[in-house]
Structure 1
C-alpha cells in the first residue's frame, strides 16, 4: 500500500479547496470518490447554498455517499474535519481515550478510528498536543493500570479497530486453533481390548473345528464431525463477518485440527455456498473470491428464507452425524418470525450442536426484545458473543463442550412466558 503524506489544512481556506481536501480524506477512508464527484459536490454546494451546517452536511452526503455502509465513515470524517481548525488535537483525543480533559473516557464509535486514521494517516506520533487547553484544563495521559497492546487488542471491538489494528487482529486469528475431539461411531474395529466381538470370535472358532479358544475384541471407530458455518453478511454484520471468515479460513486449512470438513455459507438476501473458496491457501484471495460470489454482501437480511434454503438444499449433504453448526448473525430479521422459528428449529434438530454467535452481546444492556432474536433463542444450544479476538478464543475453547451454553439460559429468562 503506498505511503501518503499527512493532510494539512490550507493556509488560506476556501470552500472549493476545503471540499477537495475533505474528499481526499473520504477516499483514504475507503469511499470511491473521483474528481468528477468532487466537481459535482462543489457545484452542488454553490448552487444550493446553505444557511446552517445541516444543509451543508446533507448536500455533501448526497454527492459522496452511495452505499449505506459508507454513512458512518462520512459522518465521522465530516465531524472531525469541519469542527474547527484544531481538528488534529480532537482526532488524537478520539484515538487516545486515556487523555483526560479533552473528552470523557469512552469507546470509539464505529468507523471513528478509521476516519481519524484517514485524516492523520500515521501522523499521530508527530502531533504535539498542547500542554494546556484554553480553559485551563490540563491534558494528562494516564498510563496506570493499562493492559499490554496485545491484551487490549484482544478485547477491542472489531468495529472500532483501525486499519493497522485490524491487520494485527487478523494475524492473531491466523495463529489460533479450534481443535475438536473425535466422536465414537457405531462402526467398530478390531482391538486387543474393549467389547467382545461375537462374529469374529465364532469365525475363528470354526477355523479350529468349533474350538472356542480365544475371544476377539472390538472397539468403536473414531471419526471427526463437520463444522458448518452460516454467516450473516448484511450491512450491520459485514465487518464482523469478514473477520469470522478470516478465522474460518485458518480453521479449514489447519492440519491436524480434527474437523472432517469445514463448510461455509453466507446469507443476506440469499444463501451462497463459499466452501470451495476457503480452501485456497492465500487468505486474501480466498475472501476476495468469496466476496465476489456473494452478491448480497452488505445488503438486507432475510434470515428465515435463507435458513429455509439451507434446510432444503444443503442440510442432508453437509450435516453428517455429529456436525457442529455456527450461526453468526445479529438476529435482526424483518421477515415472518413464525417462519424463522420453524426453520431454526429444523436446523437445530438436524445438527448435533447449534451455536449462535451474536456481536450484539457486547452490550451489557442487550436483551432479546427483537422478534427474530426471541424466535431463535429457544432453539440453540449455546449463545455467545463474537465481537473481538478474545470472544473468538473463548469460542474455540468451548465449541465442543456440551455443558457450555454461554448466555442462553440468562437471556431465556428474559423472554415473556
Structure 2
C-alpha cells in the first residue's frame, strides 16, 4: 500500500521494519506505528502519508462511521497525501462532479490536462502519476544537428576531395577528368543525463526515468547515469523498448536507490571513467539533482572541481533542480551555492510543464550564455 502511495519501500526497509517489530510490544499500536515509521520512511514529507496510510489500513471494520469521519479529518489536513493513500488502498471511485445548469465560460476554465501539466510530481496521486508517465513518454527531444569532423562524398559539396580525385584519376591513366567533392557530416550532439536518486530525489527520479527512457528509445547517442552514494551506468538497460522491463533491469543493478548522496564523488568518478567516452562532439549534459551535498569542506571542494571540469568537457551543462518549484527559492545550501556559478543553465524540473520547457530550450539554437537563476 505504501509503495502504491509513492513511498520508496524496498527490501532493506522491509527487513528493518520486521526487525523493529520484533523488538517492541506488538499489542501497543503506538509502538508499532512509531517503529514502522522510523524504519520505512526516510523523508519528512512522507511522514504524513505514512500516518494516514497506517490509520486507514488498521481502521476498525465494525465502525464504518468512525472510519469515514477519520478519513474526512485526514483529507482536511493534507488533501494531496490523503488522495494518494485512498487510491493506494483501492477505495471507491471519486464522486462525480456536480452538474452545472448554466453554460460555463470556457475562457475561465482550466482543462484537466493543463492542471496535470502544472501539478508538482510530489503532489500527484497514483492515477495522476500514471497519466503523467504516459504524457512524458510522448515527449520528443529534437536536438539541432551540429557539424562533425567527418566528411562524406557529395557531388554538390563545397569541399574539394583531393584524395578521392587523385584516386579516381589513376583509373584514367593519371588524367584528372572529374573533381570529387564532399560535405561535412552533421548530426545531433550526444545527450548525457546524470540523475540523483538519493532520498530527497527518489520521487522525482522515478518519474524522470520515464522521460529518459523515452528519449533513449527515440534517438541515438544517449547515455544515462544514476548516482546516490555511487555512480551507475544504466544506458544499456534503458534501451529496452518495454519500459517495465527496462526499469526492472535497472532495479537489479542500482544498489543505492533512495539512500544517501555524494554528488562530488559521483561527478568526479564520471569525469575520470566516462567523460572521454560519451562527451564528444558538443555533448549536452543534464545534471538532475537538488544539490544538497551534505559533506564537509573537502567534499564541497571536490564538488566544485568536478562540476567545473564537467562544464569544460561539454558544450552545455544544464542543471535541473526540483527545488526551483518554490517561488522564493534561495541558494542557501552550501552544495547549491558551490554548483550554481559553474553551470551554464539552472532550470526547474518538477512537473510536465517544466519538461516541455526543457525540450523547447534544447531544440532552440544553442549558446553558452547563462540564464538568470
TM-score for the superposition, normalised by structure 2 = 0.79
Matched positions, count: 346
Please say if residues 95 and 116 of structure 1, whose CA atoms lie closer than 8 Å, have aligned partners that are also in contact: no
Mapped pair 1:410 → 2:372: yes
Where does residue 318 of structure 1 map in the other structure?
278
Name which of 29, 33, 51 aligns with 1:60.
33
Mapped pair 1:279 → 2:239: yes
Aligned partners of 1:331, 1:158: CA distance in 2, in Å? 18
Mapped pair 1:190 → 2:153: yes
Where does residue 267 of structure 1 map in the other structure?
227
Mapped pair 1:340 → 2:323: no
Q: Residue 243 of structure 1: CA displacement?
A: 1.0
Q: Residue 381 of structure 1: CA displacement?
A: 1.7
Local SS of the residue matching 1:309: helix
Q: Which has the larger radius of gyration?
A: 1
Name which of 117, 120, 130 aligns with 1:157.
120
Please say if residues 144 and 365 of structure 2, whose CA atoms lie closer than 8 Å, have aligned partners that are also in contact: no
Aligned 1:9-408 pairs, distance under 5 A: 29=5, 43=25, 46=28, 56=30, 60-69=33-42, 72-76=45-49, 78=51, 81=55, 86-91=69-74, 93=76, 108=80, 111-118=81-88, 121-125=91-95, 145-197=108-160, 199=162, 203=166, 215-254=179-218, 257=219, 260-335=220-295, 336-403=299-366
CA deviation string 1:235-289 (max 9, x = no partner): 01001111111111111112xx4xx321111001111111111012211121122
CA deviation string 1:85-123 (max 9, x = no partner): 623334555687xxxxxxxxxxx4xx4432343457234
Aligned partners of 1:341, 1:38: CA distance in 2, in Å? 40
| Structure 1 alignment gaps of length 5 or more | 1-24, 50-55, 97-107, 129-142, 412-417
Aligned partners of 1:92, 1:144: CA distance in 2, in Å? 30
Q: CA RMSD in A?
A: 3.6
CA 243–63 in structure 1, closer or farther in 2 if over 3 Å, else same: closer
CA deviation string 1:102-150 (max 9, x = no partner): xxxxxx4xx443234345723432899xxxxxxxxxxxxxx99341111
Local SS of the residue matching 1:390: helix
TM-score for the superposition, normalised by structure 1 = 0.72
CA 318–210 in structure 1, closer or farther in 2 if over 3 Å, else same: same
Q: Residue 400 of structure 1: CA displacement?
A: 4.5
CA deviation string 1:40-63 (max 9, x = no partner): 7993564xx9xxxxxx4x762224
Q: Residue 192 of structure 1: CA displacement?
A: 3.4
Please say if residues 318 and 346 of structure 2, whose CA atoms lie closer than 8 Å, have aligned partners that are also in contact: yes
Aligned partners of 2:44, 2:332: CA distance in 1, in Å? 26
CA 372–64 in structure 1, closer or farther in 2 if over 3 Å, else same: closer
Local SS of the residue matching 2:189: coil
Q: Residue 380 of structure 1: CA displacement?
A: 1.5
